[in-house]
């Protein structure tokens, strides 16, 4: 079994990454740029829990020089909860807790590179924060400093705040810096505590890539105050070209055009407000190619904030892929503006700088009133010509045509009726036209809800019509997929990995183990070939006429691998369409020749049918042959048939 070694990132990984990006920067000295995530989500912290049985930490614990080596360590965020949705990466315990103290370290080459400084924090219930011993922020608690058993005013979970602490930039020093946070509960003992901190320099989001095409790419970022928008880019780290918008804005979007296909592009972003100008490190990406092989990753159901999500993200970040597909349920319990950074964009930030992510919505991405709006404003994806929106879309990369469908489930979500998938719907008509128009040899569908499912979701009837949803979706999509030569359908929703035997050349794979809860096997689908309740991502590679897929767990172990052929062996079906007419149908490939053979018994001997249409050259992804059982065109006494693939027609 092949394995890859992955682990959650340490502080040294973050520092090393920063040194790499600085080394790539040209035209701006190393002292003028800084990594946007000084203390990212998932960074290592030291912490000390103050209980009735333990003394407060020694004096000076707020200071940079304090020795915290005896404290516990863990990756942020932190929580005392063991039940959803308030679990975080590191569990603080459930003792007679009075409060909790935290120290996060980060390194700076030159503090003058930090123009703006922002503390993003999701917390319960109050806190005070110090930078190198200086207080920079507090919420809901009094005292100078507050006593260790102070009671804070209540603050709800997932009401994340972004606090501009730029006034304290002068507290930063060259070398190691420490952010210290004292967290308090709304009662004593302080059982209900949550802390998800993130310290950002200059940019509160990004820069990150979206909607990369063969000749275009969009770069997005956010600043804590209105500033100008500039992207410098070029074929080398020397850059040489730029796009600028002087209009002050906090949300910045630049779409580069006129790029060459399959070409590396370097870029950095700048934003100026008054005399202050923030500059990002140089990053790079590659535009999509017009043909050829490619590699991609697939995962979904990810945004828990738990250790499992961070571990999957760490392994995913080591995958050498051209793009990443996400099967939906981006954050839990819902996608909203309060957690889209801490549970998605910040978690995958380094990878999203250089690798395009393509998303499809899940049901948790639509549960709250602002969830769909958050999805549409955060992820800049291709649009479709029917609704002009990104609810469903398609794009080409290399030899593959990718289609993202809007099937969060069959729940009738408010406001989504123009976009739903059902027979005769605009999305269904678009899908058939889109697949009919593509010339790419590989056709891949991406959607949240699976067509086959061995978990508890298999009995879902969310549109309340008395038919299991998966059976309806299967009835709608499989004929279209078979007709237009779709080889693979990737879904999430079921929190597991499961692959199924192909149905007339269509392979269905569930990859819903991106970091949230795992589901067990309830009743196995007849076509199920492998079921694993594991946190994972899929690493896929198209190489000529084969799609090779590996399922990689959160520790880097490959626990399943399989190959999907571009042209699957024909699966033969037969039906009487008249009193004396037997119709044979099988999945085919255009310009491939097929021969039909018949025998009286299953064991043969088989002989070639003498039929005027044989050998048959397919002109579509389905082949059909009608046999007259009462006359010519059928072997006497034939009861068993098989199809043989011949050589491609000249």
| Joined tokens for residue 327 | 């099967």
Q: Do 104 and 209 lie in a common domain?
A: no
Beta bridge partners of 139: 127
Strands, E, within 345-475: which ranges? 357-359, 393-397, 400-404, 442-446
Residue 167 lies in a domain: yes
- At 632 the pLDDT is 53
- At 53 the pLDDT is 86
pLDDT one-digit tens code per residue, 84-107: 777 899 999 877 899 999 999 999
pLDDT one-digit tens code per residue, 62-75: 999 999 999 999 99
**Region 122-141: what's the mean pLDDT?**
96
Strands, E, within 257-399: which ranges? 264-273, 276-279, 283-286, 294-299, 323-326, 357-359, 393-397
Cα three-residue angle 305-306-311, rounded to 5 degrees: 105
**Region 111-127: what's the mean pLDDT?**
96
| Joined tokens for residue 348 | 């995958």
Name the pLDDT band for 649 (thresholds 50, 70, 90).
very low
Residue 79 lies in a domain: yes
**Sequence-separated (6 or more) residues with CB below 8 Å from residue 161:** 120, 121, 122, 139
| Joined tokens for residue 40 | 């990212």
Domain boundary pick from 565, 597, 625? 565
| Joined tokens for residue 577 | 């369409």
Q: Do 257 and 328 lie in a common domain?
A: no
Residue 16 lies in a domain: no
62-68 long-range contacts (CB < 8 A, ≥24 apart) are 62/130, 62/133, 62/145, 62/180, 63/132, 63/133, 63/178, 64/132, 64/133, 64/173, 64/176, 64/177, 64/178, 66/103, 66/178, 68/103
Measured in whole angstroms, the distance separating CA 314 from the mean position of its chain's CA atoms is: 13
- Indicate whether 638 pLDDT > 70: yes
DSSP annotation of 162 reads E
Pick from 543, 548, 545: nearest CA to 563: 548
Q: Do 61 and 184 lie in a common domain?
A: yes
Residue 398 lies in a domain: yes
Q: Are 31 and 113 in contact (CB under 8 A)?
A: yes
Name the pLDDT band for 371 (thresholds 50, 70, 90).
confident
Q: Are 518 and 306 in contact (CB under 8 A)?
A: no
The tokens 């979701």 sit on which residue? 457
pLDDT above 90 covers what percent of the chain? 79
**Region 17-42: what's the mean pLDDT?**
60
pLDDT one-digit tens code per residue, 474-508: 999 999 999 999 999 999 999 999 999 999 899 99
Q: Do 474 and 576 lie in a common domain?
A: no
Q: Do 531 and 625 lie in a common domain?
A: no
Domain boundary pick from 135, 165, 200? 200
- At 647 the pLDDT is 64
d(CA 577, CA 336): 53
List the domain range (segments joined by +) for residue 601: 572-648
Q: Do 271 and 349 lie in a common domain?
A: no
- At 3 the pLDDT is 35
pLDDT one-digit tens code per residue, 335-348: 999 999 999 999 99
Domain boundary pick from 151, 167, 200? 200
pLDDT one-digit tens code per residue, 163-210: 999 999 999 999 999 999 999 999 999 888 999 999 999 999 999 999
- Indicate whether 304 pLDDT > 50: yes
Q: Do 165 and 269 lie in a common domain?
A: no
Residue 415 lies in a domain: yes
We report the CATH number of the domain holding residue 385 as 3.60.21.10
* Residue 571, CA atoms < 13 Å, CB-side half-sphere: 12
- Give the orientation angle of helix 426-437 with respect to helix 469-483, to 10 degrees: 30
Q: Do 447 and 496 lie in a common domain?
A: yes
Beta bridge partners of 558: 552
Greatest mean pLDDT among 47-56, 79-88, 178-187, 607-616 lies in 178-187
Residue 10 lies in a domain: no
Measured in whole angstroms, the distance separating CA 631 from the mean position of its chain's CA atoms is: 57
Peptide bond into 615 cis (omega under 30): yes
H or E element, residue 617 = strand 616-617
**Sequence-separated (6 or more) residues with CB below 8 Å from residue 265:** 217, 233, 234, 235, 256, 259, 284, 285, 286, 287
We report the CATH number of the domain holding residue 94 as 2.60.120.260
- Indicate whether 2 pLDDT > 70: no
pLDDT one-digit tens code per residue, 506-533: 999 999 999 999 999 999 999 999 999 9
Measured in whole angstroms, the distance separating CA 529 from the mean position of its chain's CA atoms is: 25
| Joined tokens for residue 347 | 């978690």
Residue 50 lies in a domain: yes
Q: Do 433 and 521 lie in a common domain?
A: yes
Question: What b/e string do you get for 620-640 counting C-beta neighbours within 10 Å, with b at 16 or more?
Answer: ebbbebebeeeeebbbeebee
Pick from 34, 90, 636, 501: nearest CA to 281: 34
Q: Do 619 and 525 lie in a common domain?
A: no
| Domains identified in the chain, total number | 4
**Region 320-327: what's the mean pLDDT?**
97
pLDDT one-digit tens code per residue, 230-284: 999 999 999 999 999 999 999 999 999 999 999 999 999 999 999 999 999 999 9
- Indicate whether 6 pLDDT > 80: no
- At 648 the pLDDT is 55
- In this predicted structure, which of 22-31, 282-291, 520-529 has the lowest mean pLDDT? 22-31
**Region 317-345: what's the mean pLDDT?**
95
- Indicate whether 438 pLDDT > 70: yes
H or E element, residue 553 = strand 546-553
Count of CB atoms situated within 10 Å of the CB of 79: 22
Q: Do 175 and 122 lie in a common domain?
A: yes
Count of CB atoms situated within 10 Å of the CB of 459: 12
Residue 280 lies in a domain: yes
We report the CATH number of the domain holding residue 263 as 2.60.40.10
* Residue 20, CA atoms < 13 Å, CB-side half-sphere: 9
We report the CATH number of the domain holding residue 616 as 2.60.40
Which is more confidently placed, 10 or 530? 530
Which is more confidently placed, 91 or 16? 91
Q: Are 264 and 239 in contact (CB under 8 A)?
A: no
d(CA 337, CA 158): 9
- Indicate whether 22 pLDDT > 50: no
pLDDT one-digit tens code per residue, 214-241: 999 999 999 999 999 999 999 999 999 9
Compute the mean pLDDT over every residue in the chain, rounded to the nearest whole number.
91
**192 phi, psi to nearest 5 deg:** -95, 90
Name the pLDDT band for 8 (thresholds 50, 70, 90).
very low
pLDDT above 70 covers what percent of the chain? 93
d(CA 232, CA 212): 17
Q: Do 267 and 247 lie in a common domain?
A: yes
């Amino acid at each position: 079994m092949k394995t890859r070694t992955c682990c959650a990132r340490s502080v040294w990984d973050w520092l090393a990454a920063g040194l790499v990006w600085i080394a790539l920067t040209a035209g701006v000295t190393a002292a003028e740029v800084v990594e946007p995530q000084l203390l990212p989500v998932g960074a290592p912290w030291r912490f000390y829990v103050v209980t009735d049985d333990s003394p407060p930490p020694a004096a000076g614990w707020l200071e940079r020089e304090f020795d915290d080596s005896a404290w516990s360590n863990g990756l942020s965020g932190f929580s005392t909860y063991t039940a959803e949705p308030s679990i975080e990466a590191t569990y603080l315990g459930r003792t007679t807790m009075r409060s909790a103290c935290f120290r996060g370290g980060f390194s700076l080459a030159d503090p003058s590179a930090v123009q703006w400084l922002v503390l993003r924090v999701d917390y319960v219930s109050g806190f005070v924060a110090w930078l190198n011993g200086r207080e920079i922020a507090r919420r809901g608690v009094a005292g100078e400093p507050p006593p260790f058993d102070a009671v804070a005013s209540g603050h709800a979970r997932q009401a994340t705040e972004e606090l501009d602490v730029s006034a304290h930039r002068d507290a930063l020093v060259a070398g190691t810096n420490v952010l210290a946070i004292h967290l308090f509960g709304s009662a004593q003992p302080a059982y209900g505590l949550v802390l998800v901190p993130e310290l950002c320099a200059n940019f509160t989001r990004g820069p990150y890539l979206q909607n990369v095409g063969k000749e275009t790419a969009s770069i997005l970022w956010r600043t804590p105050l209105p500033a100008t928008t500039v992207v410098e880019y070029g074929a080398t780290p020397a850059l040489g070209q730029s796009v600028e918008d002087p209009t002050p804005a906090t949300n910045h979007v630049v779409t580069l055009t006129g790029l060459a296909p399959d070409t590396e592009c370097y870029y950095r972003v700048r934003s100026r407000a008054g005399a202050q100008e923030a500059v990002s490190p140089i990053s790079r990406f590659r535009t999509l190619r017009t043909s050829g092989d490619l590699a991609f990753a697939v995962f979904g159901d990810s945004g828990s904030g738990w250790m499992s999500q961070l571990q999957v993200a760490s392994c995913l970040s080591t995958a050498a892929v051209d793009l990443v597909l996400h099967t939906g349920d981006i954050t839990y319990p819902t996608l909203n503006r309060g957690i889209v950074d801490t549970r998605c964009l910040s978690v995958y930030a380094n990878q999203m700088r250089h690798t395009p992510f393509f998303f499809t919505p899940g049901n948790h991405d639509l549960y709250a009133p602002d969830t769909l709006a958050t999805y549409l404003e955060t992820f800049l994806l291709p649009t479709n010509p029917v609704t002009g929106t990104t609810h469903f879309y398609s794009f080409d990369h290399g030899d593959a045509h990718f289609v993202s469908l809007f099937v969060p489930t069959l729940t009738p979500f408010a406001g989504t009726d123009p976009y739903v998938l059902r027979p005769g719907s605009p999305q269904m008509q678009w899908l058939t036209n889109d697949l009919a128009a593509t010339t790419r040899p590989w056709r891949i569908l991406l959607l949240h809800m699976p067509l086959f499912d061995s978990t508890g979701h298999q009995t879902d009837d969310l549109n309340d019509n008395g038919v299991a949803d998966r059976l309806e979706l299967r009835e709608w999509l499989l004929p279209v997929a078979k007709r237009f030569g779709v080889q693979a359908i990737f879904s999430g929703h079921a929190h597991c990995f499961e692959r199924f035997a192909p149905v007339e050349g269509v392979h269905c794979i569930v990859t819903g183990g991106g970091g949230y809860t795992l589901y067990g096997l309830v009743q196995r689908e007849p076509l199920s070939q492998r079921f694993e309740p594991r946190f994972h991502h899929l690493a896929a590679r198209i190489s000529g006429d084969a799609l090779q897929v590996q399922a990689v767990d959160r520790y880097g172990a490959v626990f399943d691998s399989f190959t999907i052929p571009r042209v699957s062996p024909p699966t033969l079906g037969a039906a009487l369409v008249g009193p004396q007419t037997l119709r044979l149908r099988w999945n085919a490939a255009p310009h491939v020749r097929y021969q039909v053979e018949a025998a009286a018994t299953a064991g043969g001997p088989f002989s070639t049918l003498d039929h005027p249409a044989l050998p048959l050259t397919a002109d579509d992804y389905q082949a059909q042959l009608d046999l007259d059982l009462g006359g010519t065109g059928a072997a006497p006494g034939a009861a068993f048939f098989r199809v043989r693939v011949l050589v491609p027609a000249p």
